[in-house]
Structure 1
Amino acid sequence: MSLFDGKKVIIIGDRDGIPGPAIEECLKATGAEVLFSATECFV
């Protein structure tokens, strides 16, 4: 059983840091349900 098992998550990645799809792939293995994933540019 994982900390994220059965949880719903919203992911906001950073263009110059870790992009949203990379975080999403990591969380899929934990059993989390990804509701929204995006990569934004914070200037």
Structure 2
Amino acid sequence: MSVLENKKVIIIGDRDGIPGPAIEECVRTVDGAEVIFSSTECFV
């Protein structure tokens, strides 16, 4: 059982760290997890 199972997920990635689409691909492997927003931001 996963913490993200059957949850809606908002992803905010970091341009110099882990980008949003990379996190999104990982979340998509969890059954029932739904990505409702994914973005990569630049925190300067």
TM over 0.5: yes
- Name the structure 2 match of 1:41: 42
Q: Which runs of 4+ in 1 moved over 4 A?
A: none
Match of 1:17 in 2: 17
How far apart are 1:41 and its partner, in Å? 0.2
Q: Number of aligned pairs?
A: 43
Q: Structure 1: how far apart are the matches of 2:39 and 2:27?
A: 14
The answer for unaligned runs of 5 or more in structure 1 is none
- SS of 1:3's equivalent in the other structure is coil
Percent identity for Structure 1 against Structure 2 = 74
Alpha-carbon RMSD across the aligned residues, in angstroms, is 0.9
